[in-house]
Every structure is written in structure tokens, then in C-alpha cells.
Amino acid sequence: MPFQDVIKLHFTDAEKTSFQDLVKQIEDLLQPKLRNLDEGENNTYGVINEQNKLLVTKVRDYQNNQPALSSPDVDWVEYLDDFHDRSFLENGALRINALSKAMIETKRLHDYDNFQNALIDYKYTQYKNETSPGLGYDSKAAELKQFFPNTGGSDKTP
């Protein structure tokens, strides 16, 4: 017998609805302030590397600890707002990505369970079609056989 039902933790309808509502709230909160860059904008703005992130942090540290040494040409309120928002967005994205990865991997377990049980049902259908003809298993077996093209289940014209 194949290894089946590797995951038996299921979400209730209330949990699914609550999740959808929370995601909608997150989207409604963030969307007005998010931007999707086109290819040209991505090329223009690029991504700062780790060394440049250290520079940004060091400049912020100097501005916080020795503001007299900071350039008067920089809008420091805006600088700090950008600094805090980039940190918020990065941390949020990391958390959402971690949740997304866990959700996709958990979905994979449910996919596996569905597929294994579908195979069991197909074998049962074949068995019942052979042992109890005329009960409708013949049409179900024919329908399902299309998903097994390498087992003689399709009418391929050479």
C-alpha cells in the first residue's frame, strides 16, 4: 500500500476566511504605498549591495550621534523616514517570504496526499470495472486512463 495521508492538519472554513480577511487588510494597508518598477526603473535605481547598506547605516549613525557633522543639504527627516521604511519593508518581505515558502511546502504535502489517493481510487476503479461491469466504472476508468498515456491508455494515431 502506498505511503499516503502524510499530512492530516487541515484548515477550517473559519480559518481560511480569517486568513483571506487578514491578507486583504495587509494589501489594503500596504498597496497605496507600494510601487512596482518597470525594467527601466529597475535599471535606474538598481539594488544597493551590502557594502552600500553599511554606508547608509553609518551615515545614519553619524547623523544620530553627531548631527553637527551631517550635511545641511540632506533632508534628514526624509532620510530617516526612508531608512525606517526600507527596514520595515525588508523585514516584512522576509517574514512574508518565509510564510510563503512554508505554505508552498505544506501545499506540496497535500498535493502528494491527493495524488496518492487518486492513484488508489484509479486502481479501485480498474478493479471494479473488471469485477463488476455495467455499474459505471467503465466510463470512469476510460476518463481517468487519459492521465496515463504511457500505459496504453490513449488512442494515439501513429
pLDDT, tens only, 28-64: 999 999 999 999 999 999 899 999 999 999 999 999 9
- The whole-angstrom separation of Cα 84 and Cα 105 is 32
Half-sphere exposure of 87 (CA within 13 A, CB side): 11
Higher pLDDT, 156 or 53: 53
* pLDDT in the model for residue 5: 86
Distance between CA atoms of residues 108 and 106, nearest Å: 5
pLDDT on residue 4: 74
- Cell output for 78: 526624509
